[in-house]
Amino acid sequence: MTAASPRFRMTTRTRVSSWATIGAAILTAGLAALPAVASRGLIQDLFFIFTMLCLAQYWNLLAGYAGLVSVGQQAFVGLGAYTLFAATILAGIEPLTAALLSGVVAAAMAVPTAFVVFRLRGAYFAIGTWVAAEVYRLVLAQVKELGGGTGTSLTMSVVSSTAGLDWVSMAFGVRTPAARDIVVYWAALALLVITLAGIYWLLRSRFGLALSSLRDSELTASSIGVDAFRLKVFVYILTAAGGGAAGALIFLQSARISPDSAFAVLDWTAYVIFIVVIGGIGTIEGPIVGAVVFYFLQTYLAAFGTWYLMLLGALGIVIMLIAPKGIWGSIADRFDLHLFPTRRRLVVTSTRRTGDDRQRARQSGPPSGQMRR
Amino acid sequence: MQWVDTIIQGILLGGLYALYATGLSLMFGIMKLVNLAHGDLIVLAAFVIVVLASLLPPGSGVVLALLLSLPIMFGVGYGLQVGFLNRTLDRDILPPLIVTFGFSIIIQNGLLEVFSADSRRLPLTGWESASLSVASGISIGTVPLVCFASAVVVIAGLNFLIYRTAIGRAFRATSDDPETAQLMGIDHRRLFAIAAGIAMMVCAVAALYLGLRANFDPTIGPARLLYAFEAVIVGGLGSLWGTLIGGMIIGVAQTVGAQINPEWQILTGHLAFLVILVVRPRGLFPKSEG
C-alpha cells in the first residue's frame, strides 16, 4: 500500500559481471574464428591452455568448493585418454564421438573409485586418490592390445577419420595435420565453454549455494539439510567426466599414449594444482589467470627442466604461505572486482520510485555481511 | 616351500614398509599433518647416507654413515617444520598438502639436478650380502632380517618415548588438545619441530635399508609415500604396532603378486590395500579417529 516497505530481490549479477559475460561471449566468438588467421603454433598453444584450464576448473570445483583435495585426478585424464584409444583403435569409433564416450566412461569409473576413496577423509583422501590412479595405470600397463607398458599410437587411418577434417582443410586451405589441430582446437574450445558456463551456472544455482555453505562449514551446512556426502560424490563424478573428456582430447592431439604419460601426476595434477593455487582457489576467475601465467612460465622456462620445476614448487609454497588466495583473490579483495560473481546479494526493488532503483541497488549491493560469495 | 619363502620375504619386506610408514604416522598422530614429501625425504636421506659413506674411509661401513646422517635429518625435519609447516597449522587441510607437495617436487628435482637420474646402491661391506639358510629352499638375507628387527626396535623405542617419557606426554597432550596443552606451558611449535625431526631420523633408518636392499634414484619417492600410507591405513591410525602389521600385509601382498607374475608386484599391494579399505575402513587396529 505504502512505499515504506521496500521489496527485495536476490541476484548474483552486477553491472561488471554483465559486461564480463558479454565480453566472454565476444572473446569466444573471436577464438572460434581464430583458426582462419592464426598460425598452427598459436592454435596448438591455445589448445594447451584450454585443456589445462578445463582441468584446473574441475580441480578448483573439487578442492575449492567441495573440499575434496585430490592428487589423483590423473586417474580420469588417463582413463579418458585410454577410452579414446580403445574406442578408436579397437572399435573403430570416430575420434570426437569417442572423446564424448571418454567422459561417460570416466564418470562411470568414478563411481567405484568414489566408493573406495570416500572412506578416507581430508588429507588421507588425497593420497587415496593417488593410489587409485596408480592402480588404473598399472592395470592399463597390462593391456597388451593397447601397447602394454610402452603404449601405442593412433594409426593414420584413425587420425584421418576425425569428423570435419576434409571440410576444414578445404575451407582453410591447410594440409591434414594442421586441419586436425584446428578440429581438436575447436573441440577443446567447446569443452572449455561448456565447462566455464556450466560451472558458473552451477555455482549460481541452489546447488552452488549448498556447495558454498559446505565449503564454509560442513557441520552447519549438514545441520540445515545439505546432504554433504551426496553433494561431494556428485562433484567428484562430474569432474571425473570433464577430466576424461579433456584427457581424450589431449591424447587425440598428441596421437600417442603410454601409461606413464596418461597417468602422469606431474602433468595432470601438479601443474593443475599450481594453476589453481597461483591464480586463486575458490573463484572461477582464478584458474583463468593461473592458466595464462602457467602458459608463459612453461613457454619461457620449461627448457630449464629441473630448475623450472623447482621454481614452480617454490612458487606454489610461497603463494600458499603468503597470499593463499592467489593472484586473482588478492585483486578481488582489493578492488571488490568479480567478473563471474557467485555471491548472492540482496537488491532493493522499490515499487514506487522506479527512477533511482539502480542507485539503491548499488547502495545495498556490496557484501551483505554474513553471505560469503 | 616356494610359497613359504615368498611369504617370509613378504613379511620381512613389510619391516621396510613399516619403517617408511612410522615417520608418516608420527607426524600425523602428533600434528595432524600429512606429509606428501615423505617419500622424497626418505630418498633424500638415502642420498645423504651415500654421500657420507663416500666421505668416510673405505671399509668403515654404512652403519657409521647412518649414524652421522641422523642429526642431519633431524635438522632437516626441524627446519622444515619451523620454517614452513608450522605456518600451515590451520583447520584448512589445503595449505599443508600444497606446501608438502611443493617440497616433494623441489626435493625430487633438486636430487635429479645434483645426482642425475642414475640409479644407485649403498656400498656393501660384507655382512650385508650374507644370508642364512633356514631350510631347503628357504634362505633369509641378512639385510631384510636386520631391517625387520630395526623396524621392531624403532617402533618399540618410539612407543617408549611416547608413553613413558615427559616429552612423550607432551606429544600426547598436544595431539589430544593443542589449546589446553599450550595453557599448560607446552610450546607446541617447538614440540612439532622435534617430532618432525624424530620422524626424519626414522626416515634415515628406512633410507639405509632402502639403499641396501635395492637400487634407488631420485624419482622413486612418491611410490615410497604410497606404500607408507597404505601401511598406516591398513594398520589403523594411531597404532605404531598396527603400522608394522599393515606393512607386513602390503609386503606379503606384493611378494605373492610378484610370485604369480613379476609385473603384478606393485599392483597386488595396492589392491590388498583397497580391499582392506573397503572391508575395514578404519584399519585393522584403529586407535584414533581418522
Identify whether A17 is part of a domain.
no
The grid coordinates listed for A329 are: 583473490
Chain B environment of A122 (Cβ under 8 Å): 34, 93
Judging by beta carbons within 10 Å of its beta carbon (0-12, 13-18, 19+), is residue B145 exposed, middle or buried? middle
At residue A135, the 3 state secondary structure works out as helix
Interchain CB distance below 8 Å, B274 and A131: yes
d(CA A253, CA A191): 14
- What's residue A373's pLDDT? 41
- What's residue A351's pLDDT? 59
The grid coordinates listed for A117 are: 576413496
How far is B231 from chain A, CA to nearest CA, in Å? 12
d(CA B107, CA A177): 40
Please name the residues between 183 and 242 in chain B that touch chain A, using a CB distance below 8 Å.
Answer: 222, 225-226, 229-230, 233
How far is A96 from chain B, CA to nearest CA, in Å? 32
Please name the residues between 170 and 229 in chain A that touch chain B, using a CB distance below 8 Å.
Answer: none
How far is A314 from chain B, CA to nearest CA, in Å? 6
Chain A environment of B102 (Cβ under 8 Å): 313-314, 316-317, 320
Residue among A119, A127, A131 minimizing CB distance to B34: A127
Q: Is-contact B23 B38, C-beta < 8 A? A: yes
How many helices (H) and strands (E) in chain B? 11, 2
Chain B environment of A114 (Cβ under 8 Å): none
d(CA B32, CA B178): 11
A139–B contact, CB cutoff 8 A: yes
B66–A contact, CB cutoff 8 A: no
- What's residue A350's pLDDT? 67
The sign one gets for the Cα dihedral A50, A54, A55, A57 is positive
Identify whether A241 is part of a domain.
yes
Chain B environment of A128 (Cβ under 8 Å): 229, 233, 277
Interchain CB distance below 8 Å, B112 and A321: no
A130–B contact, CB cutoff 8 A: yes
- What's residue A359's pLDDT? 52
Q: How many residues does chain B have?
A: 290
Please name the residues between 42 and 71 in chain A that touch chain B, using a CB distance below 8 Å.
Answer: 63, 67, 69, 71
Interchain CB distance below 8 Å, A126 and B36: yes
A132–B contact, CB cutoff 8 A: yes
- What's residue A208's pLDDT? 87
Q: How many CA atoms lie within 13 A of A45 on its CB side?
A: 14
The amino acid sitting at B286 is: P
- What's residue A116's pLDDT? 94
- What's residue B42's pLDDT? 97
- For B2-279, give the CATH class: mainly alpha
Interchain CB distance below 8 Å, B274 and A116: yes
Interchain CB distance below 8 Å, A313 and B87: no
Identify whether A11 is part of a domain.
no
Write the DSSP symbol of residue A173: T
Task: Enumerate residue ranges in chain B where pLDDT < 70.
Answer: 125-128, 288-290
A153: β partners: A256
B171 Cβ contact partners less than 8 Å away, ≥ 6 residues apart: B30, B162, B191, B195
Identify whether A368 is part of a domain.
no
Domain boundaries, chain B: 2-279
CATH code of the domain covering residue A230: 1.10.3470
The amino acid sitting at A63 is: A
d(CA A191, CA A185): 10
The count of other CB atoms within 10 Å of the CB of residue A354 is 9
Give the DSSP H or E segment for B123: none
Task: Count chain A–chain B contacts defined by CB atoms under 8 A.
Answer: 124
B103–A contact, CB cutoff 8 A: yes
B115–A contact, CB cutoff 8 A: no
How far is A274 from chain B, CA to nearest CA, in Å? 9
Identify whether A1 is part of a domain.
no
- Which letter, b or e, does each residue of B13-33 get, where b requires 16 or more Cβ atoms within 10 Å of its Cβ? bbbbbbbbbbbbbbbbbbbeb
Q: Is-contact A235 A68, C-beta < 8 A? A: yes
pTM of the model: 0.90
Residue among B28, B101, B274 minimizing CB distance to A270: B101
Interchain CB distance below 8 Å, A310 and B113: yes
List per-block mean pLDDT (blocks of 10 residues) for chain A, which spans 373 residues: 64 79 89 88 94 96 91 96 95 93 97 94 90 96 90 87 86 86 95 95 89 84 88 95 97 94 94 94 92 93 91 94 90 81 74 51 45 41
How far is B204 from chain A, CA to nearest CA, in Å? 22
The grid coordinates listed for A64 are: 575449492
d(CA A332, CA A132): 36
Interchain CB distance below 8 Å, A71 and B36: yes
d(CA B20, CA B243): 10
Q: How many domains does chain A have?
A: 1
The amino acid sitting at A95 is: P
Residue among A67, A130, A320 minimizing CB distance to B95: A320
B36–A contact, CB cutoff 8 A: yes
Residue with cell 564418470: A107
Give the DSSP H or E segment for A348: strand A345-349
d(CA B176, CA B1): 48
> What is the CA B163 to chain-centroid distance, rounded?
21
Chain B environment of A265 (Cβ under 8 Å): 222
Q: How far is CA B162 from CA B27, B179, B240, in A?
A: 13, 19, 11
Identify whether A59 is part of a domain.
yes
Residue among B96, B105, B226 minimizing CB distance to A312: B105
How far is A351 from chain B, CA to nearest CA, in Å? 45
The amino acid sitting at B75 is: G
Interchain CB distance below 8 Å, A321 and B88: yes
Best probe of the B interface among A120, A317, A322, by most B CBs < 10 A, is: A317
Chain B environment of A69 (Cβ under 8 Å): 93-94, 97
Residue among A131, A270, A321 minimizing CB distance to B230: A131
A132: β partners: none
Range of the domain at A325: 38-342
The grid coordinates listed for A199 are: 560451472
Residue among A116, A138, A316 minimizing CB distance to B102: A316
The grid coordinates listed for A132 are: 587409485
- What's residue A271's pLDDT? 94
